[in-house]
């Protein structure tokens, strides 16, 4: 998944940049961040595969971390606001897991806390760096 996702992100960057889409350089932060977060969560889930409650939640969070591409394609007007909007909608899935735990177990599992914080933190970080000169330079190097 990570190898294929990264390869597709690079191919998409190169294609869109070659056709004159300068925004592709900034947007490249979104799929690359997804691949990094997915890798971290799946690795943590594999390490904790004997702790089934933790493992299941980490795998679910890993899946949630990469569905923003699908959410961004929903025909909703709010999504025209860009990545912040589709990140917020994606984060509702994390909230659903937290609410489920609260309703069924009367506590939030630590996997949701730490994994959810990782996802939201990575989203925030991407939105902070995606228009910086350093990120644009990095993406331009990859696009070349």
Q: What is the pTM of this model?
A: 0.92
The sign one gets for the Cα dihedral 27, 19, 10, 7 is positive
DSSP for 54-84 reads: HHHHHHHHHHHHTTHHHHTTS--GGGGG-HH
Give the pLDDT confidence score for residue 63 in this predicted structure: 97
Tens-place pLDDT, residues 85-127: 989 999 999 999 999 999 999 999 999 999 999 999 999 999 9
Tens-place pLDDT, residues 37-59: 999 999 999 999 999 999 999 99
* Length of the chain in terms of residues written: 144
Give the pLDDT confidence score for residue 106 in this predicted structure: 96
């Amino acid at each position: 998944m990570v190898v294929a996702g990264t390869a597709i992100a690079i191919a998409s960057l190169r294609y869109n940049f070659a056709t004159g889409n300068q925004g592709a350089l900034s947007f490249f932060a979104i799929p690359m961040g997804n691949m990094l977060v997915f890798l971290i969560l799946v690795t943590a889930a594999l390490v904790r595969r004997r702790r089934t409650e933790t493992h299941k939640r980490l795998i679910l969070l890993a899946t949630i971390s990469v569905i923003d591409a699908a959410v961004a394609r929903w025909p909703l007007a709010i999504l025209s606001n860009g990545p912040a909007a589709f990140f917020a909608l994606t984060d509702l899935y994390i909230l659903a897991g937290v609410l489920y735990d609260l309703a069924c177990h009367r506590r939030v599992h630590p996997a949701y806390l730490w994994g959810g914080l990782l996802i939201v933190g990575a989203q925030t970080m991407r939105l902070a760096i995606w228009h910086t000169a350093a990120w644009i330079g990095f993406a331009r190097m990859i696009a070349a």
